Amino acid sequence: MRIILIGYGVVGQSLTSMFLRRRQETVKDYGLNPKVVAIVDKGGAAINVKGLDLEKMLLLKKQKGTVAVDKEFGNLEISPLEVITSTEAEVVVEVTSTNVKNGEPGLSHIKTAFKTGKHVVTTNKGPLALAFPALTELAEYNKVFLRFSGTVGGGTPVLELAKKCLAGDRITAIRGILNGTTNYILTEMAEKHIAFDEALSSAQKLGYAETDPSMDIDGIDPACKVVIMANWIMNKKLTLKDMDVKGIRDVTLEALEKAAKRGNTIKLLGSIDGKARVAPTEVSRHDPLCVSGVLNAVTFVSEFAGEETIIGRGAGGPETASAVLRDLLDISHNLADKMLT
C-alpha cells in the first residue's frame, strides 16, 4: 500500500514511528505492507516512489523542521495538492491541523485525493464537521474509501464499536464526554474545589489546553465529534452549523458543589437524542460515563443490545496513530474483498 502523508506533526510522526516498530507484524499478521512514498509539511515535501527512509525522515523533521530539505528526495517548492495529484499512491493520510472556519487546507487535500482516485484516512475533524455529507458522497462517486477513526476518541475505537460491533442493531441515542481538556478542568474544579480560571491555567501548564483554549472550552471540538457520530453512526445529514453548542466557561464552583450534594457532578456532554447538542449537563456519579481527568467516555443506546459505554484516552500521538493504522487495515481488507468478488 503506497501512502502519501500530508502533515508531519504529532500524529504524522507517531504514525511513521509505528510503521518502523510494527512493520514485521503488519506484514506477517495482517498482510499490510505500508510504503510511504511522500511526506508533506509546511516546508514542502519529500517524495520517493520506491518508499522513503522513515528513520531518516523522522530525524530530518526533528533536526531541520522540515522533510523538504532532504538532499535526494526533498522539494521546497511543491504544494500539497501537486504532491497528491502527481504522486502515484493508493491512500492519502491527511493529518494537518484542524480548521473549523473553512476546513482548509484539509478539505482541499481530501477532495483532490478523491478526484485522483485515492482513498483517504484522516484524523482532521474540520473537513468532516463542515462537509460530512458532501465528502461521503464525493468518496462514493469516485469509488474510494474515506476513514476517520482517529477523529473521535483518539485511539479508542468509539466509531468502530458503534459501526462494527453493534452492526444490525439500531442506535437510538448517543451521549459522551468527547473532550479530555474540558473533562480535566471540570474534574479539577469538582475535586480540588477551585474556580474555572485556576483549573484552566493548570490544564495549560500541563499541556492539556492550548494557549487559545476556545476550541475546547467553548465546546467546538466535541461538537465536531458529535457531527461525525451523527452522520456516520445514525445517518443524520448534519454539519456543525446545525448543532446547539454551549461550552464550560459559565460552569461555577457553586453549581458543581450543588450537584455534588445530589450525588451528581457536571460534565460537558455531547449528545444526539432527537437534537444534536453539546452542553454542560448534570450526571450521576454512578453513571459509567462519569470518568475523570482527561479520559473520554461514550454511551451508545441501542434498540436491542441496550446501553454500552466505551472509555479511553481521547488523544495523544501514538494513540491517534493507532486509529490511522486500523483504518489502513480496514481499507486494505475492503480492497482484498473487492478483488475476490
Ligand X SMILES: NC(=O)c1ccc[n+]([C@@H]2O[C@H](COP(=O)([O-])OP(=O)(O)OC[C@H]3O[C@@H](n4cnc5c(N)ncnc54)[C@H](OP(=O)(O)O)[C@@H]3O)[C@@H](O)[C@H]2O)c1
Interaction between residue 123 and ligand X (CB under 6 A): yes
DSSP per-residue codes, 40-95: EETTEEEE-TT---HHHHHHHHHHHS-GGG-TTTEESS--HHHHHHHS--SEEEE-
Interaction between residue 40 and ligand X (CB under 6 A): yes
Interaction between residue 144 and ligand X (CB under 6 A): no
Least distance (Å) from ligand X to the CB of residue 12? Answer: 6
In one-letter notation, the amino acid at residue 130 is L
Q: In the range 297-336, which residues lie near ligand X by CB under 6 A?
A: 315-317, 320
Of 37, 95, 107, 266, the one binding ligand X (CB under 6 A) is 95
CA–CA gap between residue 222 and residue 224 (Å, rounded): 5
Of 26, 38, 52, 80, the one binding ligand X (CB under 6 A) is 80
Question: What are the cell numbers at 40?
Answer: 508533506
Interaction between residue 138 and ligand X (CB under 6 A): no
Q: Is 258 in the active site?
A: no
Tell me if 272 sits within 8 A of 244, measured CB to CB: no
Tell me if 47 sits within 8 A of 73, measured CB to CB: yes
Residue closer to ligand X by CB (options 34, 259) is 34
Interaction between residue 124 and ligand X (CB under 6 A): yes
* CA proximity to 275, closest of 152, 175, 127, 178: 175
Catalytic residue among 61, 125, 225, 267: 225
Residue closer to ligand X by CB (options 260, 295) is 295
CA distances from 210 to 157, 224, 286 (A): 25, 17, 31
Among 41-49, 112-120, 244-252, 285-293, which window interacts with ligand X (CB under 6 A)?
41-49
Contact residues: ligand X, CB under 6 A: 7-12, 40-43, 66, 80, 95-98, 105, 123-125, 150, 154, 315-317, 320
Q: Active-site residue numbers?
A: 225
